[in-house]
Amino acid sequence: EAGVAQSPRYKIIEKRQSVAFWCNPISGHATLYWYQQILGQGPKLLIQFQNNGVVDDSQLPKDRFSAERLKGVDSTLKIQPAKLEDSAVYLCASSLFLDRGHEQYFGPGTRLTVT
């Protein structure tokens, strides 16, 4: 079974530029998550989708971050404009059910450096 795919794997941009990340979850997984992991910290949830609807985006900085999952499969996360503090690994995860106690499968992440 193919895992969660993400691209690009690495991205270097200057502050105030924009960037987009792509995620393809495991086939059949209805729930998709985007996390931000800053060096030395655990992942922090940015947004959670159930199919193509947003379940939770309470920690998404909406003035600069946006995400969509138009057909309930692939998702994109965009940052515009980027700040230095956005340097982090952006992880996409998916799970089969929107339920407590389930397992989330993570992609390899996109490592973003903002200079």
Partner 1 sequence: RKEVEQDPGPFNVPEGATVAFNCTYSNSASQSFFWYRQDCRKEPKLLMSVYSSGNEDGRFTAQLNRASQYISLLIRDSKLSDSATYLCVVNKDNQGGKLIFGQGTELSVKP
Residue indicated by tokens 């515009």 = 80
Task: Give the footprint of partner 1 on this chain (CB under 8 A).
Answer: 31, 33, 40-45, 48, 50, 55-56, 91, 95, 97-104, 106-109
Distance CA 40, CA 56 (A): 24
Find, among 71, 35, 26, 32, the residue nearest to 54 by Cα.
32
Task: Please say which residue, 17 or 52, places its beta carbon nearer to partner 1.
Answer: 52
Closest approach of partner 1 to the CB of residue 27, in Å = 18
Most distant pair of Cα atoms in the chain: their distance: 39
Rounded to a whole number of angstroms, the minimum distance from the CB of residue 67 to partner 1 is 16
Min CB(107)–partner 1 separation in Å: 6
